[in-house]
A and B are shown apart, each in its own frame.
Chain A
Amino acid sequence: MRFAALWALVRRELRALARERTILIAFGIQLFIASFSSTLLMGLISIYDPDATQLAAQLRPRVAVVGEQDAATNTMVALLEAHQARPRVVEDEEEAQALYEAGQLDAAILMPTASTSGLGGSSVAVAELVLPSSQTEASLLRLVLRKPLRDYENVLREANGIELRYQDLEGVPPTTYEFQYAALVPLLLFFPAFVTGGMVIDTVSEEMVNRTLETLWSTPVSLNAILLAKMTAALLVSAGQSLLWMGLLTANGIQIARPVAVFALIAMGGVTVAQVAALLSLVFRDRERSQFVYALFILLVASGSYLVDASPVILVSRLATSDPTVGWGAVLIYGGLALGLGLVLRRVSRPLIAGS
């Protein structure tokens, strides 16, 4: 009986939403973000991992190898030449500095001195790479010089009898994976939940401003049932979107490892956000102020959550990548939070309305 009334209210909300059609704009924007994420991905990666974009392929930097003419220096020179650099051996740092200032040098490698050299000895060898202070130039040079330096590392390892070649690993650079699971997945999955709160504020404050809430309340449904119906309708829409995104991500090769747990966590996040929105709209009573405070709340929570280890954004990433240290316990914590907030909302909704 009570459920039937609730369901009727939910259907009423959904009908209104379908009639307005403007929700399609929200869907469109999400689709747009996702469409451009491949472009975005390329752009972002070129900023923090230019290696992935083959930017440095044509670069032939002039590098000074600072040290004495010995076996170690010759090995380094050979490795640099093998990797498109133009090396020259320089006696000391002052000379390299002079050459750099004369514009005949791009970077310098200070070779390990004889006393610390790893070749034949057992101590750790420390070579220093000196780069220009310009960030762009330095990162490009670092890209080109990384390979010969790693090769030199291998030479030293082999000389010490260690067989390890970590640069032989192949596949997509780890940053792509990082972007997909740390940014794209949480962004797309939580976006519908953020919109949910906005929708709840809109419908609740609209009924208060238009004075239709009193009429609705005079029917045999409680205020809490009305609020619950509004939140349920908005949550149904956002849950549908989240499910759709999970499907589309999977179809595009981004596997969500524990879909049920991920979905449950997002749903709990959505419930919490919807309840906060309902509370705000009851406190402020008009759309402008509630939406403003809600936007600030979302902004603070979303950005602040990166600081907390157990934040929902990070938990989604960890669940989606099947991190063994997180599980249903995390979901339960947020479920408890949502439940507690729900109990508070239930208690304060009537006093808040009566205050008007």
Chain B
Amino acid sequence: MFLAVGIFLPVILFVFSITLMVPLLYRTFNDTTFISMFVTVLITLYLLFPAMLLGVSEFSYVSPLSLAVEMYQGKPLALRSYLTAALPMVLIFCLFVYVGSRMLNEEFLTSYRPIVRKLAEAIYLSMDRRRPALSVALVSLCLVPVVYLAQLGALAVALNLPVRLAMGGILIASVVIEEVAKSVAIVMLLEHGNVKRWHRVVILSLLSATGFLLGEKALLFVSIRATSQSLLAAVMLNAGKLWITLGAHFVFTVVISLLTRWWGPKRYPLALGVGASIHLLYNLAILGVLG
């Protein structure tokens, strides 16, 4: 009985916090339908898909439903598998409730803007403007799971295309998604005039790149641990390579941020294009396609 509550409480909090975003983001009734459709599909996938792999892969413990199934089979509950399932959900709950409480102001809720702008505004509102450095790093860190989700979606769609086209499409899409995640916080600060000097932009870019890298590696580490190949984890967290990756992340972000500062926030897509192109060339070089 208490076990069931313990298992399902994180799920309840998770579903609550995600659906909290629907009324905060919608502008018209059509929005409500489409956004809640999206949210429902997302929650269903997150809960059901891993649970289908129960007994096949350790990955299934991402979903508390796997724990529930084992509970009804009378198996003992391991603390590690409980934390694997419950911790991300509780973290998402905390994050969304915090973001939701920051978004809760009249001007944001009643304004009609394109959905992309609205999301950007939500990110700006959830930042602490007195501590831009910390906020930028944290936003980049928190956006990492969203980036992975978006890249996964892009992958699912691209796999319908012919292989060469799909590869190119995924490379471009994932680079653009990553660069947006790293630069969005800085660009919002620039647009609202919280940051003006160019050397501040450089420092913030470095922090954003660090936050993103930290999130990326943490997620990678967790997912590799889940598939229990700790040797691979050690290789992935290889210190020497880490500096190169950090430097690369920093360069792309600083290019986008500085170009946005010089050209103005209106030209952000253009700046993004330049930064993403450099990132794409870097990726191609790493893959050995170039030179």
Contact = CB atoms under 8 A, between A and B. Distances in A.
| Bound together | yes
Interface of A: 16-17, 19-23, 25-26, 28-29, 31-32, 34-36, 43, 198-199, 201-203, 205-206, 287, 291
Contacts of A34: 160
Interface in B29-51: 29-35, 37-38, 41
8 contacts: A16-B28, A17-B30, A20-B28, A25-B35, A29-B38, A32-B157, A36-B156, A202-B30
A205 B34 contact: no
B27 A35 contact: no
A88 B185 CA distance: 74
A32 to B, nearest CB: 6
A285 B207 CA distance: 51
Given A20-B115, A25-B37, A202 B160 contact: no
A145 B145 CA distance: 48
Contacts of A16: 28, 30
Contact of A203 (B30, B34, B35, B159): B30
A245 to B, nearest CB: 13
A309 B33 CA distance: 32
B153 interface: yes
B28 A202 contact: yes
B30 A21 contact: no
A21 B157 contact: no
Contact of A32 (B32, B41, B115): B41
B114 A21 contact: yes
Given A20-B27, A26-B37, A203-B29, A31 B114 contact: no
Contacts of B37: 25-26, 29
B160 A35 contact: yes
Nearest to B45: A32
B157 A25 contact: no
Contact of A205 (B29, B31, B156, B157): B29
Contact of A22 (B41, B52, B115, B157): B115
Given A201-B29, A287-B29, 6 more contacts: A20-B30, A22-B30, A29-B41, A35-B159, A202-B29, A206-B30
B157 to A, nearest CB: 6
Contacts of A43: 52
Interface string B143-167: 0000000000100110110000000
Contact of A35 (B28, B34, B157): B157
A19 B116 CA distance: 12
Contacts of B28: 16, 20, 202, 206
A94 B156 CA distance: 55
- List of 7 A-B pairs having minimum Cβ-Cβ separation, nearest first: A202-B29, A22-B34, A206-B29, A25-B34, A202-B30, A25-B38, A35-B156
A280 B34 CA distance: 19
Contacts of B52: 43
A26 B34 contact: yes
A51 to B, nearest CB: 21
Nearest to B114: A21
B191 to A, nearest CB: 21
Nearest to A34: B160
B153 to A, nearest CB: 7
A291 B153 CA distance: 28
Contacts of A26: 34, 37
A34 B161 CA distance: 13
Contacts of A29: 37-38, 41
A198 B31 CA distance: 11
B153 A22 contact: no
Nearest to B40: A29
A202 B32 contact: yes
A16 B28 CA distance: 10
A292 to B, nearest CB: 12
